Structure formats: C-alpha cells, structure tokens
Amino acid sequence: MDDRRLRDEITPEPLYQRRHAIMRAAGVLPMIAGASLVGCGQEDASDQGVVPTPGYEEVLTPFESVTSYNNFYEFSTEKDGVAKLAQGFKTSPWTLSVGGLVQRPQTFTVEDLDAMFMPERRAYRMRCVEGWSMVIPWQGFPISRILDEVVPNGDAKYLRFETVKRPDEMPGMRGFSPYAWPYVEGLTLDEARNPLATIATGLYGKPLLAQNGAPVRLVVPWKYGFKSIKSIVKIDLVARQPTSLWMAAAPSEYGFFANVNPEVSHPRWSQATERRIGETRRRPTLYLNGYAAAVGSLYAGMDLHKNY
C-alpha cells in the first residue's frame, strides 16, 4: 500500500476536495471549516464523507461528536464533561522535547512541528477499548519525520511518550486519583517508523481543541484509542519497554501492544463488535482496526488469540 493510500484510505482526496469546492462555492467553508461535513445536507452521498468499502461503509464522525465525547482522564472520567473542564487549559506556548537515546535531541515548538513536518489530512478509524469508534479527519504527519531529525542511536528500541502534568489546570489529577500521573504511553521503534503512526496537531482543518489533546497528540489507528496519548510534552527514545499508565493501573487488563483484535476479549467484555458513534447497530470490529495490510507485518510472529 503506498503512502497516499495509507493516509487517505477513508475519504479519497478528490472527494474531500470536491466537497470543499462545493462548500467554498456556496460560501460556507470558512464558517463550517470545523463543522460536520456529514451534516452538510445538500450534497449527494459521496460528498458527505461516505465511502463504501466491501461490507463496511465509512462516514466521518461529525465534528460535534469528536469534540464533545472524549476520554481525557486528566480532566474528567465523564466523556461529556471533558470539553467544558478543558476550556481553561493553556496550550500555547508549548514545546515538545524529543531526547533519550538519540544523536540530536531537540525541543520543538508547535509552530516548528507544523513548519518542519508538513501536516497532511489523514482520516482514520479510532476504536476505543471500551467498544465505541469514530472516523476522524486529522491533520498530522508520520512520527518517522521527527525520528529522521533526532536520529535514534543503535540501542534505542522504544519510544516513551509523556503528557503534560498540570494539576492546577487539570482537575482530574487533583486529590485522590488511582492513576500514576503523568499519562505515559509507548511504541516500539518499528511501530513508530510505520507511516500510519501519526503526530496530529489538528482535526477537521482546525488546530486541535484541548479536549482532543491540543496542541499535539499521537494517533495510532490500529491500536486501541488509549495508546493515542494526548497533549504530549516529551518523547524519549529508550532501550527497554516503557510501562504505560494503563499497564501500571491494571496490568491484567491492558498490555503494551494493545492492538485492536476482535478475537481477544477484554477480561470484562468482548471486543468482537463496536458501536460507531452516531449509529445504533453494532458493527464487527476488524483485526488491527482494518489496517492489517499496512501494519500486519509488524506482528507476524504473534499469536492472534493472545492478549498482549
């Protein structure tokens, strides 16, 4: 699969451009740049972000849902409470430091990231471990572009990502909490080098909102959503597998790889199906969230029936 298909599997660029051309012609684009493309109403099905794939119709999840139904435990465990509580979160100025086992450690501003690594539109399915899913048009770029800049040493085997820790601005971190903040996640170096592993700075053509992990987050579409760590301030290249916040909190429920896999149940529920936000009927969950052609070779030796 070439890079263009990887980043545009859901809504081919011509459709996206045609939709925008129609909206621009109608004079509505500036107003609804961040609004629901699906709800625009006037166009035919193909202009509403609907792309039929065999047995699996894909529609972009409306902007409203993407920005109001969130998991961001530093603010709240209530999905519909995050957006409001995150309103006062300071996302500028912001820096992302990339270091550890690299030849050229660097600290990037968000402006640097956008200027140096050229975010492009990447619409991906996101499957939460809880059993719901969305399709989100991100602006992002492959993490490999950052890796090329910092140059990992030969003994670097993993990336360890860390979210900002600001209890003053993040109410979910204050007082008693069962979690060992900050939120930490990890990837193997090979996973991070796959073109699908994305650093996102925006969605629906706008900069990320706080509730979605502003100003910079990870998007790993073939893994359960909790791997896609938000509001990142630090990435370290390390020799040993990092322990994520979820591995530390519930090791019998959450592993390091956390690849979407309908064959492997969570200890408390099945992962065979999912509810796409905005739909009522559940749909089958796909191995590696439907991205097996792109990333399956990373896991060639793994037992598909085992929880990692």
Task: Return residues touching ligand MTE (CB under 6 A).
Answer: 70-74, 128, 163, 183, 212-213, 225-226, 228-231
| 154, 236, 242, 297 from 239: Cα distances, Å | 9, 10, 9, 22
Residue 232: CB minimum distance to ligand MTE, A: 8
> CA 99, CA 236: separation in Å to the nearest integer?
5
**218 close to 186: Cβ distance less than 8 angstroms:** no
Quick one: 73 or 117, whose CB is closer to ligand MTE? 73
Quick one: 47 or 124, whose CB is closer to ligand MTE? 124
Residue 163: CB minimum distance to ligand MTE, A: 4
Q: How many CB atoms lie within 10 A of CB 1?
A: 12
Residue 128: CB minimum distance to ligand MTE, A: 4
Residue 182: CB minimum distance to ligand MTE, A: 8
**194 close to 56: Cβ distance less than 8 angstroms:** no
Quick one: 11 or 71, whose CB is closer to ligand MTE? 71
> CA 105, CA 292: separation in Å to the nearest integer?
32
Strand partners, 52: 57
Quick one: 70 or 194, whose CB is closer to ligand MTE? 70
Residue 64: CB minimum distance to ligand MTE, A: 13
Quick one: 23 or 132, whose CB is closer to ligand MTE? 132
Quick one: 23 or 85, whose CB is closer to ligand MTE? 85
Quick one: 62 or 225, whose CB is closer to ligand MTE? 225
Residue 96: CB minimum distance to ligand MTE, A: 14
Query: CA angle, corner 95, sides to 94 and 96, nearest 5?
Result: 135
- 225: which DSSP letter? G
Q: Which residues contact 216 (CB under 8 A, 6 or more apart)?
A: 94, 96, 110, 113, 199, 200, 201, 208, 231, 232
| 70, 211, 258, 295, 303 from 66: Cα distances, Å | 7, 9, 22, 25, 33
DSSP string computed for 205-216: TEEPPGGGTTT-
Residue 25: CB minimum distance to ligand MTE, A: 31
Nearest residue to ligand MTE on Cβ basis: 225
